[in-house]
Structure 1
Amino acid sequence: MSLSIRRTIVALFNGSRQAVDLVKALNEKELANNQISLITPRKRLEDMETAAEVAVPGIDALEGWLVQIDDIDIPGVGRVTAGGPFAGAIGQGDKNISDILTYYGVAASRAKVYQEEVKRGKILAVIETNNDKASETANLMEQMGGHKVTKWSKNKNKWGKRS
């Protein structure tokens, strides 16, 4: 039995409708199984609720699709609602978004860009999938409105362990 190489695809979204539709499409196409994470600034969700955008779902609408949805305070970013494996990783200790992204194989300089975008109100999607599904996943993310879509390989994490 050969092990499949895992790839991480990261993108930013402007709205929760795009992110929710992405998660549903990824599940329907079986591109990522339960390796889908979304990070949404809490302020953005509160603003949506204040504006009475009832027709626009928040990340809570994905409770059946994402594992572990939680509100988390992130150093340098503020309060976010995070769902998926990323939520578990970021909820354990004093790590910020860029720290966790580098674990997933994202270059440190790019990880800081993604963290700043979340701080500014963008929704971050982090998808881990098999190498043979990476291009299709990235294309789907772009079709659903994702920007700054990039693919990364997790070869060696910063603690020196092979992934």
Structure 2
Amino acid sequence: MAVFLSTYVNKVDRKGRVSIPAQFRQSLAKTSAPSTVYLWPSLNHQALEGADQDYLDVLSESLESPDLDADERDMIETFIFGKLIPVSSDAEGRIVLPKELAEFAGITEEAAFIGRRKTFQIWEPDALKAHEAALREQVVRKDISLSQIVAKASRGAANRSGEGA
């Protein structure tokens, strides 16, 4: 499964082509279908979501869980798998953004790619800046820190390992 890191802003040409960031391409090269990315409209933002085939396989398997609410399954199947568009990259690592997806995200001249570990998003650059500013306000207001997150995860792992004893 690919890992997507960092943020990149690339030009979109008049044919709707945009280069996938080099780091993303390197990560995709290690996956089962390296020249294809899958894009869909974000559930929560005026942006696009993207992933590789391996991630979609894991997501699809997770929908088989009996613990998943039927309404959630229906939403994921409709709004992700139902709206998903496979996009192949050319020899230079460019993709053509499907018109309906570019319009949904308001992407015209530039596209901001932001890595989110196992997935990535594509934003109109000014919209991404506004989104990041709103998130920063939340981080400050909630006093979120990486050390708190690591400590919380460590406690959770210790509790889970103690459950089996």
Q: TM-score, normalised by structure 1?
A: 0.31
Q: Which has the higher contact order (CA 8 A, sep 6+)?
A: 1
The structure with more helix, counted as a fraction of residues: 2
